[in-house]
Amino acid sequence: DEASLAVATHALSKLYGRSTALEAVDLRVPEGAVYMLAGENGAGKSTLLRLLLNLEQPTSGRAEVTGLATDRHGARVRARVGYVPEGFGMGPRWMTVERWLAERTVYYPAWDAGYADALCRRLDIDVSRRIGQLSKGQTRRAQIVAALAHRPPLLLLDEPSDGLDPAARDTVLELVSDHLSQTGCTILVSTHLIYELDALVDQVGVLSHGRLTTQAPRDALRDTVKAYRIRA
Ligand code: ATP
């Protein structure tokens, strides 16, 4: 039933020149699921998330996110999504975290400043700092606040624990877990590390060389998941 899918892609493909990043991907993320998109580096995970946000266009195929066609409703889709991008790009080096967060209210009408403050305190973020002075871990934590503070129905998290130390990783897990129980949102998390939000995951998809080779409830994939655990 398409209506109860938070994310659906139909033969989604992406080529960069002659190299295939994604090939005929049919992703199905049920509403309310925590879906782990597993795969080695270069498997196409980040490309898939960028296509879902219409930050890039597919070579062929199409996608619906929260019931909206991404090619026609890119801005509406982005407003409904909390996105933690790959890497640590944030904003101009001179801008304070406080100002950077405040500017997001322009794009996110549902932005909750009180919730953003509470998240910053819980993640121990000094909002008076300038973006150029942040460590990778501090950048990641600010990106996570930005992804949650408008309480979007869908979170797209691209290796969210990248740059975090183990203590911060635990705090983020707790925080996402609380967020999940409060909002009942859907989460699509990309990772090459099995422990990424491990405790919360209930669906798993495996991308390999741009193809979605497996997609199933987590229990049905216990052995696959275990294989990843050994490599991680
Ligand atoms: P990682 O964990 O390393 O980010 P990934 O699974 O997210 O891996 P992608 O970053 O989506 O993988 O990359 C998939 C493939 O597409 C790789 O071969 C990559 O080199 C290629 N690719 C991604 N973006 C571009 C681009 N802008 N131009 C050319 N090739 C690209």
Any atom of ligand 1 within 6 Å of the Cβ of 86: yes
> Residue 195: which residues within 8 A CB-CB, separation 6 or more?
161, 169, 229, 232
Any atom of ligand 1 within 6 Å of the Cβ of 46: yes
| Token code pair at residue 82 | 């909390």
Any atom of ligand 1 within 6 Å of the Cβ of 18: no
Best substitution site from 12, 37, 46 to test ligand 1's pocket, by max atoms within 8 Å of Cβ? 46
pLDDT interval class at 227 (50, 70, 90) = low
Q: Which residue CA neighbors atom 25 of ligand 1 most closely?
A: 16
Higher-confidence residue of 217 and 93: namely 93
The rounded distance, in Å, linking the Cα atoms of 121 and 123 is 5
CB atoms within 10 A of CB 219: 9
Any atom of ligand 1 within 6 Å of the Cβ of 41: yes
Q: Is the pLDDT of residue 231 over 70?
A: no
Any atom of ligand 1 within 6 Å of the Cβ of 47: yes
pLDDT interval class at 232 (50, 70, 90) = very low
Best substitution site from 37, 47, 83, 162 to test ligand 1's pocket, by max atoms within 8 Å of Cβ? 47
The rounded distance, in Å, linking the Cα atoms of 100 and 160 is 19
Contact by Cβ (8 Å): 157, 37 = no
Mean pLDDT of the chain: 91
**N- to C-terminal Cα distance for the chain?**
35
Q: Which residue CA neighbors atom 29 of ligand 1 most closely?
A: 16
Q: Which residue CA neighbors atom 26 of ligand 1 most closely?
A: 16
Q: What is the pLDDT of residues 178-189, one digit of tens each?
A: 999 999 999 999
Q: Which residue CA neighbors atom 28 of ligand 1 most closely?
A: 16
Q: Could you write out the DSSP letters of every residue in 143-193?
A: HHHHHHTT--SEEEEESTTTT--HHHHHHHHHHHHHHHHHH--EEEEEESS
Q: Which residues pair with 205 in a beta bridge?
A: 37, 215
CB atoms within 10 A of CB 121: 10
Q: What spacing in Å lies between the alpha carbon of 85 and ligand 1's midpoint?
A: 13
Q: Is the pLDDT of residue 169 over 50?
A: yes
Closest among 216, 214, 82, 206 to 147, alpha carbons compared: 82
Q: Is the pLDDT of residue 125 over 50?
A: yes
Q: Residue 25: its pLDDT value, please?
A: 98
